[in-house]
Structure 1
Amino acid sequence: MNMHPGVKLRHIRLFLAVAEHGSLTAAGRAEGLSQPAVSKSLAEMEAMLGARLVQRQGRRVVLTAEGEVFRRHAREAVASLEAAAAALRPEHGAGRLSVGLLPTVSTRFFPNVVGEFLLDPPLPTLSIETGSHPVLLRKLRDRAIDLMIGRMPQPAEMPGLEFEFLYEEPIIAAVRAGHPGRGQRIARVLRDYPVILPTRDAIIRGTVDAYLASLNLADLVPAVETSTLALGRGLLYATDAIWFISQGVLEAEIEAGQVETLPLGASYLSGAVGMTVVTGHVLPPTLLRLMNLARRQAEHRKKI
C-alpha cells in the first residue's frame, strides 16, 4: 500500500522533532510552531497513515511501537533527500559528517583527531554532537549521526552495531589540588566530603555504583550528579567535592596540576573507548579517513 499523498515533508520533519525532543512544545519551538499547530499536524499525519505514532507518558510524549518503526524509516528518507539536495550544490561539495561524542573524548582526544583532519582539504563540515550515551546511541541507530565515539555500549545494546576498540580509559576520583582528604582512606574521604557522581544514564555510572557498594557505601547519596566538564570542574575548584568521572574529561586539568586524583585501589575501574557504527552502513571515504586518524591518535596515546 502506498503512503497517503497528503503526507508532506513538513509532517515528517515535525514528527521527527517530536521524537527527538519528547515534547510537543519543545518540538514546536525548534520548528518555529505553536504547540497546538504541532498537535494538529501530528493528528493529520496519524489519520492519513492510519496508525497512532505517539502517546503521552506523564509530561513527556513517547513513540508507540508503530512510531518507532516509522521514525527509523522516516529519518533515513529525510537524510537521503538532504544528501540529494546537497549533491546539487557544488559549493558544498565536501558534504557533511555527523559525529556523536561522549564526554571522555570531547576535551582532548577528538580535538586532536580533528586537528589532523583539517590539514587535508577539501573538507566536509563536521557536525559534532555531545550528549549522554542513550541519546547518542539512539541518534546513531536513527542515522542522525554517522559515528559515535566513546565508551563501549553494553552487550544488550550491541545488536545491529559494530564497535572498534581504540584504548582503555580509567575512571578516576578527581579533587582540586591540595584537597584536605589526600592521604586518607578512600572510604573515609567519600563519607567526609561531598561526592559528585556521573548522571544515571552515563555508561560508567553502574561501574561507579558497584565500586561504592564494594566499600559498603551503597547508601551514599551524591551531592551532585553530572558528567558535564564545565560544571564538574567548577565544582571541584569551588568546593572539597570528589568527582567520579572518566580520566579523559579532565586530562588537561590534571596535567596542569589543577586537579588531582585519589587512589581507588581497584583495577577494574576502567573500560574500553572506541568507535561505534551501524552494521552494514556504507561509510563515506571522508568518514573512513576520520576514523583512521582516530586510530592513529589512539596509538599515539598508548605510547605516551
Structure 2
Amino acid sequence: MEIRQIRYFLAVQETGSFTKAAEKMFVTQPALSAAVKNLEQELGVELLRRSHKQVTLTPAGRRFRDRAFAILAECNAAKSELMAEQHPRQLRIGVLDTLNTPPVNQLLHEFHTSYPEIELHLHSGNKLALANKMGQNKVDLLLTSLSGEDSSDTKLPLYQERFQLMVSRQHELANRTCVRLSDLHGLPFVLRKNCEVLNEGKRVFLAEQAQPHITCRTDNDSWALTMVRNNLAAAILAETVTEEGTVSIPIVDFGLVRTVACVWRQHSDQETVQTFTAFAAQDSWRGLAKAV
C-alpha cells in the first residue's frame, strides 16, 4: 500500500469521478485508475462502485475512507515533526538592556518551559537600537519599557515598577527603611545614561533642590551595579533589579515608574509572536511583578 494510492482513492471519493480526481491530483486518468485498482487488489475488496454517472463508495470503501484519512493525518504529522527538527520554530526577541530583572527572566524561563520547541533568539540593546532592529525586521518582538512616544506598534503592558535607591550593604544609608531626595544631596552617585526616566528624574531632583555628586556616568548597568556593590557610589534603579551585597530603599518623594511591555509590529500574524504574547498576557509567570 502506497500513500499515493490512498491520496488517489480519497480524491475519487471526494469528486465522484476518476477524471475529475485525475485533474485534481495532476496525473493522467489511466494512471490514477490503475493505482486505485491495485489498492483494491491488495486489500482484497472493492472500494468503489463504478457507473457511467458517478463513482460511489462501497460499504468497505466507507470503512476504509476513515482509515485513509487517519493514515494521511499521521503521515502529515510525522512530516511536520521531522521538518520542525530541521527548521525549528523561532522567535527573535529584543530585550531592553535595563531589563535583566527577575520578572523578565521568569517570563522567558516559563515560556521556554511551556514551549521548548520554539527556539528563542535574544538580542539586547537600548530603546533606539531595538526600535531600529524592529524596523529592519531583525527582531519579531520587543520586551521594553513604554514611553509617551506615539507608535503604530501593538503593545501589551506587563507590569509596572517604581525606582528605588540602591546602595551597598556597607553604605551609611543601608539600614534606612526609606529615604527622601534631600538625603541624596551630595551623595556619591553613578549616573545611568540608559535609565528610562533620566530626564524626568533630573527635573524631579532639581525641583527638590537635591544634587547628588556624580562620580561616574555609564550606559552599562553591570558597571553601575559593580560600583554600587563595592560601595563606590549609589544609584537609582527599578525595584526589581537585584544585586548581591546591595539593598534597595524606597524614595518617598520620587514617584516615577516604568511600564514594562511586549511590543510587536501591528497586524503581525507570525504564529510564534501570537503564542508568546498570549502566554505573556497570563498571570502564571508573574510572581511578584505587579500587573498593569
Distance in structure 2 (CA, Å) of the matches to 1:299 and 1:114: 11
1:53-202 to 2 correspondences below 5 Å: 91-120=85-114, 123-155=117-149, 158-182=150-174, 183=176, 186-187=180-181, 189-199=183-193, 201-202=194-195
Distance in structure 2 (CA, Å) of the matches to 1:143 and 1:276: 13
Deviations 1:22-59 (A, max 9, x none): xxxxxxxxxxxxxxxxxxxxxxxxxxxxxxxxxxxxxx
**SS of residue matched to 2:109:** helix
- Counterpart among 294, 301, 304 of residue 280 in structure 2: 294
Query: What is residue 39 of structure 1 aligned with on the other side?
Result: none
Q: Indicate if the aligned counterparts of 1:112 and 1:297 stay in contact, CA closer than 8 A.
A: no
Structure-2 change in CA distance of 1:275 and 1:120 (3 Å): closer
Aligned AA (1:287):
V
Given the alignment of the two structures, is residue 222 of structure 1 paired with residue 214 of structure 2, yes or no?
Answer: yes
Query: What is residue 265 of structure 1 aligned with on the other side?
Result: 252
1:18-37 to 2 correspondences below 5 Å: none
Shift, 1:129, TM fit? 1.1
Greater Cα radius of gyration, structure 1 or 2: 2
Distance in structure 2 (CA, Å) of the matches to 1:303 and 1:134: 26
> Cα RMSD over matched residues?
2.9
Aligned AA (2:157):
F
Shift, 1:160, TM fit? 1.9
Shift, 1:298, TM fit? 6.0
- Counterpart among 261, 264, 268 of residue 274 in structure 1: 261
**SS of residue matched to 1:281:** coil
Structure 2 segments unaligned to the other structure (5+ residues): 1-81
Deviations 1:89-125 (A, max 9, x none): 7533323211111244323223212322233455232
Q: Indicate if the aligned counterparts of 1:113 and 1:297 stay in contact, CA closer than 8 A.
A: no
Higher helix share: 1
Query: What is residue 245 of structure 1 aligned with on the other side?
Result: 237
Distance in structure 1 (CA, Å) of the matches to 2:180 and 2:128: 31
**SS of residue matched to 2:226:** helix
Q: Indicate if the aligned counterparts of 1:174 and 1:260 stay in contact, CA closer than 8 A.
A: yes
Q: Give the TM-score normalised by structure 2.
A: 0.61
Aligned AA (1:205):
L
Shift, 1:240, TM fit? 4.0
Shift, 1:260, TM fit? 1.6
Structure-2 change in CA distance of 1:193 and 1:235 (3 Å): same
Distance in structure 2 (CA, Å) of the matches to 1:297 and 1:121: 14
**SS of residue matched to 2:214:** coil
Distance in structure 2 (CA, Å) of the matches to 1:277 and 1:176: 38
Distance in structure 2 (CA, Å) of the matches to 1:223 and 1:107: 25
Aligned AA (1:212):
F
Query: What is residue 212 of structure 1 aligned with on the other side?
Result: 205
Shift, 1:143, TM fit? 1.7
Distance in structure 2 (CA, Å) of the matches to 1:214 and 1:303: 29
Structure-2 change in CA distance of 1:175 and 1:166 (3 Å): same
Shift, 1:132, TM fit? 0.9
**SS of residue matched to 2:185:** helix
Distance in structure 1 (CA, Å) of the matches to 2:231 and 2:275: 43
Shift, 1:267, TM fit? 5.5
The sequence identity of aligned pairs, in percent, is 16
